[in-house]
Amino acid sequence: MHRIFLYLPLLSAMLVPAFATAQSAPVTAVTLYPGSATVVRSARVEAGATRLVVAELTTQFPVQTLRVEGDPGIRIGQIVTQDASRTESANATQAALEASIQALRDQSAALDAQAGAADIVKGYLERATSDNGKEHARMPMDGKSLASTVTALSQAAADALTRKHQVALQKREIGKKIQALQRDLARVQSQSRDLRTVTIQLTAERAGDVRISYQLNSAGWRPAYRAELDSAHSTVSIDRLAQVSQKTGEDWRGVRLALSTAQPRQSLSAATPQPWLVGYDPPRPSGELAPPNALAKSAAMQSAPMKDRGREAEYEPPTFQADGTFATEFVVSTPVTLPADGREVLLPLARETLAARQRVQVSPRLSTTAMVMAVVDKPAGVWPGGSLQLYRDGSYVGALPWLPDAGAKWALSFGRDELLQVRLSPVKGDSGSTGLFDKRNVRRISDRITLRSSHATPVEVLVLEAAPVSTSDEVKVQTVFSPQPTQDTWEQRRGVVAWVRMLAPQETAAIDVAYELEYPKEGSVTGLP
């Protein structure tokens, strides 16, 4: 059944001549959003044209998102859309795969016929050589004829069995090819074979372009980054990347691509509160059920449609959560070809090279592993979260999810520093009590942090230590550091102290930390080591 949608529903729109010739309108531009896309097609019309027919469009876009614009001098009138079913696929890649699968199935059917013929021959030979063949037994036969007959029967049987074996081998190979093609087909198969035709009434005072745009959901993008540390020059290069894919049934070839952080799929309705009603029900006799809670009833009504929804398609377009106040758009500088099979394509967007302050960071009480860090000034622009690949001097060191800080600086980790040895050694630790009448427990902890650099050049080291902080007047804490920390409250973290030291090649440095914790004997104390 055809489905017809009308804009400006005038009766004359239905009187489009059947012989109207469809015109090509290739995809020229695409704007990708997280989980959706705006597709723009362009068609050329000559001066004096009154109608434009664009056929073979996908039916996956909602008709209400269709928008038509023309160059100056081209006035757009009524628009008619009409859907029609077809047996073959609209996607060229999908059609080619389906044709290949059908050809292999035809070959398999032909082999089945050959196997059937071999079965007929085999059955005839079995009947001809069976002991029940009395008619053959009564026929006189000399030795020469018998030998010829046996040879002929043996050859025919061997040919039949060999042919059946060959057919089985060929069918097995064909089955493997069909399975591989079906996996490829599943990746590119669109959701519908229907096609949509758009008929546009217009008045063209001069030649120009008509642009047709619509929204599709089976497409999207997510940001990604690649950071590389050049330790010799103290720079960090950050590449902006985009992971894009689409499974709309349309092949986008040589299109202008823009990437937006806007979220068209989010709800546009502002939340408004409903009246908060508080009532009272008097006690009821035992056994009488109370009426269901109105809030629970409302929740049940809202959740019911969820059970009736069909399963979502297996393909999930790339998306992400953008927390910025305003949307940002990135434009890909070169034309892009994006197939309709859902595969992800990685596109480079831009590169920033930033001066870096290198240092080695270690938190000995948590881990004696030293990490290479690079601190850079945050560049201008919007940086939504995404995956981050890390390289140090050309070597891959790992990847991690990255949420760029909102602060003025970024601290990026580029893997372990094997040339800095770190050791945490207990010097003294004991427990006791104090006070003659009001006895209290005392816990003393004393450790030494030892650093040794095997670097060939001086290296800056950042040592972090979380000192105990009392949250109660009943718990007294005393700290002794030697040398004194460079920062008493590192990055506004209470109790976290930091030492920044420049270690020369083969230099060894030591930091002594001592804590005394005094607390009542009665009660419980949390946070003790």
Give tens-digit pLDDT for 140-152: 555 556 566 667 6
Specify whether 111 is located in the same domain as 45: no
Count up the domains in the chain and report the number.
3
* Nearest C-alpha neighbor of 415 from the set 477, 373, 464: 373
Specify whether 60 is located in the same domain as 197: yes
Specify whether 43 is located in the same domain as 57: yes
CA distances from 508 to 84, 417, 497 (A): 80, 16, 21
Specify whether 47 is located in the same domain as 78: yes
What pLDDT sits at residue 195? 84
Considering the domain boundaries, does residue 81 fall inside one?
Answer: yes
Contact 217, 265 (CB under 8 A): yes
Considering the domain boundaries, does residue 195 fall inside one?
Answer: yes
Considering the domain boundaries, does residue 73 fall inside one?
Answer: yes
Considering the domain boundaries, does residue 474 fall inside one?
Answer: yes
Contact 212, 67 (CB under 8 A): yes
Contact 358, 372 (CB under 8 A): yes
Count CB neighbours of 429 within 10 A. 13
Considering the domain boundaries, does residue 363 fall inside one?
Answer: no
Domain extent, residue 15, equals 4-90+191-217
Terminal Cα distance for the chain, rounded: 75
Considering the domain boundaries, does residue 401 fall inside one?
Answer: no
DSSP 3-state assignment of 10? coil
What pLDDT sits at residue 298? 45
Which tokens in the block code for residue 23?
Answer: 């015109």
Below-70 pLDDT ranges, the chain = 1-21, 86-92, 124-125, 128-150, 152-153, 187-193, 265-268, 280, 286-314, 320-326, 429-438
What pLDDT sits at residue 284? 72
Specify whether 32 is located in the same domain as 181: no
Specify whether 23 is located in the same domain as 109: no
Q: Is 150 buried (19+), middle (13-18) or exposed (0-12) by CB count in 10 A?
A: exposed
Specify whether 27 is located in the same domain as 159: no
Residue 36 CA to residue 156 CA, distance in Å, equals: 65
pTM score, two decimals? 0.67
Considering the domain boundaries, does residue 244 fall inside one?
Answer: no
What pLDDT sits at residue 504? 96
Specify whether 86 is located in the same domain as 106: no
Specify whether 29 is located in the same domain as 175: no
The number of residues making up the chain comes to: 529
Specify whether 17 is located in the same domain as 160: no
Specify whether 31 is located in the same domain as 100: no
Specify whether 96 is located in the same domain as 109: yes
Cis peptide before 520 (omega within 30 of 0): no
Considering the domain boundaries, does residue 320 fall inside one?
Answer: no
